[in-house]
C-alpha cells in the first residue's frame, strides 16, 4: 500500500531551541525511516511537509483548506493518509477535515504527540506507528489516532493538557465523513467567527461586540442550554438575529450536550433564533460555522446546513 503523510508541524516534529521547542525539518522523516527499518511498516510512505512547519497554535482555517486540498489532489495515488499535527488545535482540524472531504472512501488519520520525537520517553513514535498502521486498516473517514485509541474525528476533543492520553471522543456508529456519491472537496475560508462563554455576571459587551462584528458565533452555554435572561444579552442576541448571522449554542459540559427548551432559562436562546448545537463539541461547532459561511450566502441555507448532521458530529435523535 502507498501512504501519504502530510506533516504540518506541531510537537511531534519539534526540537529543543534556546526559545523552547520549535518545529524542525527532517525529524518526522527520520522517525518514519526508523519505523520502516524495524520491520513494523512495509508500506510505501511519502511525506509532504508544510513549508514552513507550524506550531498548531498558529493554525487557521486556511491550513484546514491546505491539508484537504493536498489530500484531494493526491487522492488517486495513495491508499491512506496520515496528518501529523500539533495537539492544541488538532480537534479543530480533525473536525474540519470531516466536513471538507465529502464522500471520502479511504482512511485519513490525524495524530500528534505530547512529547517530541527528539525527546526521551516520547509518545510520538507509538502514535506515528499506530497512525501509519491505521491508515492501512481503519474504516473510511477522518479519525484521530492517539495513545492507542482510534477516535471519531468529528467528536474528538482535547481533554488533558499534558497526559499522553490527551484526547477523548464519544463512540458513535455514524462514520466520520460526509456521505456523498463521489469524492469531492468542500471549500472553507477564514471567516470572523467568535466563541463566547456565558458566565455568572456575563460581560455582555463581549457578546454584543461579537454580534456587531462577527460573521458567526459559537455560544458556550450552561448545562442543557441555559443563559441569563437580561436586557443586555437579549439585545445582543437580537442584534445577531437582525444581522442574520448564525449563532450556535453548545454546552460548557464536556458530555451530554444541550437541549434547548428543557429549562425556561433557555427561552432567550430559542426566541432569538439561536441554533441548538446538541452535543457537538465547541471545536466542531466552530468548524461547521466556518463551512456554512464558506458555502452558503444566506442565513436560511446556513441554518439548514448547521441543523443537519453531516458526519456524526452530533446525536441526531
Query: What's the CA gap between 97 and 113, in Å, rounded?
Result: 19
Q: What residues contact 36, with CB distance under 8 A and at least 6 apart?
A: 42, 45
Beta strands (DSSP E) in 153-299 are 157-158, 167-168, 184-185, 193-197, 216-221, 247-251, 275-276
* Given 11, 93, 111, 281, the catalytic residue: 11
Q: Can you give the pLDDT at residue 261?
A: 72
> Residue 164 corresponds to which cell in the numbers above?
499522553
Domain boundaries, the chain: 2-185, 193-306
Q: Can you give the pLDDT at residue 191?
A: 98
Q: What residues contact 298, with CB distance under 8 A and at least 6 apart?
A: 244
> Residue 67 corresponds to which cell in the numbers above?
491539508
Question: Spelled out in words, what is the top-level CATH class assigned to the domain 2-185?
Answer: alpha beta
Q: Could you tell me the pLDDT band of residue 316, with boundaries at 50, 70 and 90?
A: confident
Contact between residue 74 and residue 130 where contact means Cβ atoms under 8 Å apart: no
CATH 3.30.70.990 given to domain 193-306 = no
> Residue 145 corresponds to which cell in the numbers above?
489516532
* C-alpha angle 262-268-269 in degrees, rounded to nearest 5: 70
Query: What's the CA gap between 118 and 133, in Å, rounded?
Result: 21
Q: Can you give the pLDDT at residue 222?
A: 94
> Is 111 among the catalytic positions?
no
Q: Can you give the pLDDT at residue 264?
A: 67
φ, ψ of residue 200 in degrees (nearest 5): -60, 125
Q: Can you give the pLDDT at residue 259?
A: 85
pLDDT in tens, 121-160: 999 999 999 999 999 999 999 999 999 999 999 999 999 9
Q: Can you give the pLDDT at residue 101?
A: 98
pLDDT in tens, 174-224: 999 999 999 999 999 999 999 999 999 888 999 999 999 999 999 999 998
Q: Could you tell me the pLDDT band of residue 312, with boundaries at 50, 70 and 90?
A: very high
Indicate the pTM of the whole model.
Answer: 0.96
Contact between residue 58 and residue 186 where contact means Cβ atoms under 8 Å apart: no
CATH fold match for the domains 2-185 and 193-306: yes
Per the listing, cell 500528534 goes with 112
Q: Could you tell me the pLDDT band of residue 170, with boundaries at 50, 70 and 90?
A: very high
Amino acid at each position: 500500500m502507498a501512504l501519504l503523510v502530510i506533516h504540518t508541524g506541531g510537537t511531534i516534529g519539534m526540537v529543543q531551541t534556546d526559545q523552547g521547542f520549535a518545529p524542525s525539518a527532517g525529524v518526522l522523516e527520520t522517525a518514519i525511516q526508523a519505523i520502516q527499518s524495524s520491520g513494523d511498516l512495509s508500506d510505501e510512505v511519502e511525506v509532504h511537509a508544510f513549508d514552513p512547519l507550524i506550531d498548531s497554535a498558529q493554525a487557521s482555517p486556511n491550513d484546514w483548506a491546505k491539508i484537504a486540498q493536498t489530500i484531494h489532489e493526491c487522492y488517486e495515488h495513495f491508499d491512506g493518509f496520515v496528518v501529523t499535527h500539533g495537539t492544541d488545535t488538532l480537534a479543530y482540524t480533525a473536525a474540519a477535515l470531516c466536513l471538507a472531504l465529502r464522500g471520502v472512501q479511504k482512511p485519513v488519520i490525524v495524530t500528534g504527540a505530547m512529547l517530541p520525537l527528539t525527546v526521551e520517553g516520547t509518545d510520538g513514535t507509538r502514535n506515528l506507528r499506530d497512525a501509519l498502521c491505521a491508515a492501512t486498516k481503519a474504516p473510511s473517514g477522518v479519525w484521530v489516532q492517539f495513545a492507542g485509541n482510534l477516535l471519531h474525528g468529528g467528536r474528538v476533543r482535547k481533554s488533558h493538557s499534558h497526559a499522553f492520553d490527551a484526547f477523548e471522543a464519544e463512540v458513535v456508529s455514524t462514520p466520520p465523513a460526509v456521505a456523498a456519491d463521489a469524492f469531492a472537496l468542500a471549500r472553507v475560508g477564514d471567516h470572523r467567527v467568535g466563541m463566547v462563554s456565558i458566565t455568572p455576571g456575563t460581560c455582555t459587551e463581549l457578546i454584543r461586540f461579537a454580534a456587531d462584528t462577527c460573521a458567526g458565533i459559537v455560544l458556550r452555554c450552561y448545562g442543557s442550554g441555559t443563559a441569563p435572561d437580561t436586557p443586555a444579552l437579549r439585545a445582543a442576541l437580537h442584534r445577531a438575529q437582525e444581522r442574520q448571522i448564525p449563532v450556535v449554542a453548545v454546552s460548557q459540559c464536556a458530555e451530554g450536550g444541550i437541549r434547548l427548551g428543557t429549562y425556561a432559562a433557555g427561552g432567550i436562546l430559542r426566541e432569538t433564533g439561536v441554533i441548538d448545537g446538541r452535543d457537538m463539541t465547541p471545536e466542531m461547532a466552530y468548524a461547521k460555522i466556518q463551512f456554512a459561511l464558506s458555502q452558503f450566502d444566506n442565513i436560511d441555507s446556513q441554518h439548514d446546513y448547521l441543523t443537519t448532521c453531516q458526519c456524526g458530529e452530533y446525536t441526531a435523535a
